[in-house]
Structure 1
Amino acid sequence: MKENIKLGLILLLITGIAGFLLGGAYEITKAPIAEKVAADKQTAMKELLPKADKFNTVDVNAKDKGKISEVNSALAGTDIIGYTINVAPKGYAGPIELMVGISSDGKVTGMKILSLAETPGLGANAPKPEFSGQFKNKPIKEKLEVVKIAPTKDTQIEAITGATITSKAVTLGVNDAIDFYNSSLKGDKK
């Protein structure tokens, strides 16, 4: 009996020390990770709207919070030249965080995948230019649709072979960003 108590106390001591060390590692790495995420976000915004001098966060209406996680206006001087809109549609293996750039003249300037956990070799190919590059300069008047053959219309996106669910999820996210722009941001050029 005494031996069991002694072993239990040793185990408790070991787990307490391990928990303390993990907590310390978290505190040490928390700030650098947050800085890296912010820097990656700035880089993505600049890639999507390269003519912008700065980006300002825009408040998102509570009813849009479900689909839209963040909106930033892109400014050239004092003029708004477009927006970056962050969405996270559900893909095959979980949410796909992406940022969509839309210019004030009514075109998708591009799409950048910030994070995903899709199947390696299939859905994980979504960030590659062969797929993600298809969204550049797409019009925002009609919904984009996924097709399994070469696109014949300007509103079509060719699916990634073997990853139709991921392709549809990303396209849905871009469509959600377009809908939000058309309903809440279009014409807002302060």
Structure 2
Amino acid sequence: MREIIKLGLILLLITSVAASILGLSNGLTEGKIEEVEAKASEEARKEVLPGTDSFKSIDDNKFKAIKDENDKILEVYKGMSDGSLAGYAIKTVTSGYGGDVEVITGISIEGKITGIKVVKHLETPGLGANATSADFQDQYKGISTDKEVVRVKTNPSKDNEIQALTGATITSDTVTDCVNMARELFNDRLNK
């Protein structure tokens, strides 16, 4: 019995020290992690909305109203080019096969999708993770915001269709849902 109590106390001591070290290292690196994530988001915005030189978040009250209506919209930025509005970069999230999938969608003021980027996912490597490939993401470029983007399993025959990833229909649907969410936000709230 004493041996079990002794082992239990040793285990408690080891886990307490490990938890303290993890907590300390998390506190020390938290700011750097946020900085790296902010820089990655900025680069993704530039990628999906080419030709912009800066981004400004939309008015806080307007964003709060959007967020209250749809909590799957994470960020909305105005893309500026030479001081004029060029379009919007909208980050949305939806549940995929392996977990949440975050997508940034670029939409020009002319109402065209200028690009998309899957910035975070937990999808299956080799299947759903292929949603990060340029071949898949480039299918969305140039699609008008007038019509809902539709995922098809065969070669697209209409200008609002994209071909699903082989073996990853759920992920393809998830990314398309994120893009359609951004498209609807643009049509209903931002393009007014």
Instruction: Sort the TM-score into its range (normalised by shorter chain).
Output: over 0.9
Looking at structure 2, the residues matched to 115 and 102 of structure 1 have their Cα atoms a distance apart, in angstroms, of: 20
Q: Please report the TM-score for the alignment, with normalisation by the length of structure 1.
A: 0.93
Q: CA deviation at 1:78?
A: 2.6
Q: Which amino acid in 1 is paired with 2:163?
A: E
The corresponding residue for 1:157 is 162
Q: Which amino acid in 1 is paired with 2:176?
A: T
CA gap 1:164/1:5 in 2 versus in 1, 3 angstroms: closer
Give 2:148's match in structure 1, choosing from 140, 143, 149.
143
The corresponding residue for 1:49 is 49
Query: Counterparts of 1:54-65 in structure 2 under 5 Å?
Result: 54-58=54-58, 59=60, 60=63, 61=65, 62-65=67-70
The SS at the match of 1:88 is strand
The corresponding residue for 1:9 is 9
Q: CA deviation at 1:9?
A: 2.7
Q: Which amino acid in 1 is paired with 2:131?
A: A
The corresponding residue for 2:174 is 169
Contact 2:94 2:178 in 1 (8 A): yes
The SS at the match of 1:75 is strand
RMSD: 1.4
Gap regions ≥5 residues in structure 2: none
Looking at structure 1, the residues matched to 57 and 171 of structure 2 have their Cα atoms a distance apart, in angstroms, of: 28
- 1:32-89 deviation per Cα after TM superposition (whole angstroms, max 9, x unaligned): 2111101100101111122212111123224334221110011123311100000011
* The 10-residue stretch of structure 1 (13-22 or 35-44) with the greater mean CA deviation from structure 2: 13-22
Q: Which amino acid in 2 is paired with 1:166?
A: T
Q: Please report the TM-score for the alignment, with normalisation by the length of structure 2.
A: 0.92
Aligned length: 187
Percent sequence identity over aligned pairs: 43
The corresponding residue for 1:184 is 189
Looking at structure 1, the residues matched to 156 and 113 of structure 2 have their Cα atoms a distance apart, in angstroms, of: 17
Looking at structure 2, the residues matched to 94 and 7 of structure 1 have their Cα atoms a distance apart, in angstroms, of: 38
The corresponding residue for 2:39 is 39
Which structure's residues are more often helix, by fraction?
A: 2
The corresponding residue for 2:88 is 83
Looking at structure 1, the residues matched to 148 and 50 of structure 2 have their Cα atoms a distance apart, in angstroms, of: 25
Looking at structure 1, the residues matched to 120 and 3 of structure 2 have their Cα atoms a distance apart, in angstroms, of: 49
Q: CA deviation at 1:2?
A: 4.2
Query: Does 2:95 align with 1:113?
Result: no
